[in-house]
Amino acid sequence: MRDHLKPTLTKAGFGDLRIMIWDHNKERVYDRARDTLRMPGVADCVWGIAFHWYSGDHFSALAMAHEAFPDKPLILTEYCLGMSRGESAPGPHSSWDGVEIHTKELVGDFNNFMAAAVDWNMIVDDKGGPYHNRAAGTKARIVVDPEHDTVTLEPLYYAQAHFSRFIERGAVRIGSSSFSDEVEVTAFQNPDGRIVAVVLNCAERDIPVGLRLGGDIANVVLPQRSLATFVLSGINS
């Protein structure tokens, strides 16, 4: 990279391209970043660290990579529901199980310093293609059935919106905590000062929670196995 890739890109007029390393599963993201970026001159050629989700949570690996290299953004460059992190049901259509798997991933990653995520795929046909044409199919946000000329917005489509619709470009993740491992939360402050909290209830029962921001508390009930987003006015602290 230092001796060949970066000089070649620069010579060809692409010196401003941002190079990310690893681009594979999380369990070795810290090891690869450590071994690569400690080589003399390499850190100056690398913009960020890319990772996938297929080998499990490994959220602490992201935290370690961030602590060691805080100037290198962590980007989830590929996560596809339907492979090793899939639902039990075959085919491209998703269910609440998929929503829960998807949301736990994003919450855990964001809470461990992930800067952005790239989903794969947005649209597939009713066989799980065009990219993944496997017997089990690949889940997607939108499923197109050419034979019946229909387009279905899947549960994953609405799950993604809890993040992409309310968390704005330039938002900063802020600290958050939960009283139970059945309730997962991640929170951000948008550029306009508003606070966005995405909250997942994994339990098979309704759970009353107190959503606290500074000295203010809002008492709400999270329906069983539900996903909710709260948008709050910011505070100056």
Give the span between the Cα atoms of 181 and 107, in whole angstroms.
12
What structural domains does the chain harbor? 5-170 (3.20.20.80), 171-237 (2.60.40.1180)
pLDDT of residue 120: 82
Residues linked to residue 24 through DSSP beta bridges, in sequence order: 51
Pairing, β 216-222 against β 207-213: antiparallel
pLDDT of residue 1: 85
pLDDT at 237 over 60: no
Pairing, β 123-125 against β 114-119: unpaired
Give the span between the Cα atoms of 97 and 87, in whole angstroms.
6
Task: Give residue 121's pLDDT band: very low, low, confident or very high (50, 70, 90).
Answer: confident
pLDDT of residue 135: 58
Q: What letter does residue 149 receive in the DSSP assignment?
A: T
CA end-to-end span of the chain, whole Å? 43
pLDDT at 133 over 60: no
| Percent over 90 (pLDDT), the chain | 78
pLDDT of residue 201: 98
pLDDT of residue 130: 64
Burial of 92: CB neighbours in 10 Å, binned 0-12, 13-18, 19+: buried
Mean pLDDT value of segment 46-62: 96
| Alpha helices, H only, the chain | 5-11, 29-37, 59-68, 96-110, 155-164
Any idea which residue has 């060809």 for tokens?
12
What are the pLDDT digits (tens) for 72-101? 999 999 998 876 787 766 778 888 999 999
Mean pLDDT value of segment 167-182: 95
Q: Where are the beta strands (DSSP E) in the chain?
A: 20-25, 48-52, 74-79, 114-119, 123-125, 142-145, 150-153, 172-174, 183-189, 195-201, 207-213, 216-222, 226-232
- Mean pLDDT, the chain, rounded, equals 91
Task: Give residue 172's pLDDT band: very low, low, confident or very high (50, 70, 90).
Answer: very high
Task: Give residue 212's pLDDT band: very low, low, confident or very high (50, 70, 90).
Answer: very high
| Structure-token pair, residue 25 | 């599963």
pLDDT of residue 56: 92
Query: In the sheet that 226-232 helps form, which strands lie side by side, from edge to edge?
Result: 172-174, 183-189, 195-201, 226-232
What are the pLDDT digits (tens) for 21-52? 999 999 999 999 999 999 999 999 999 999 99
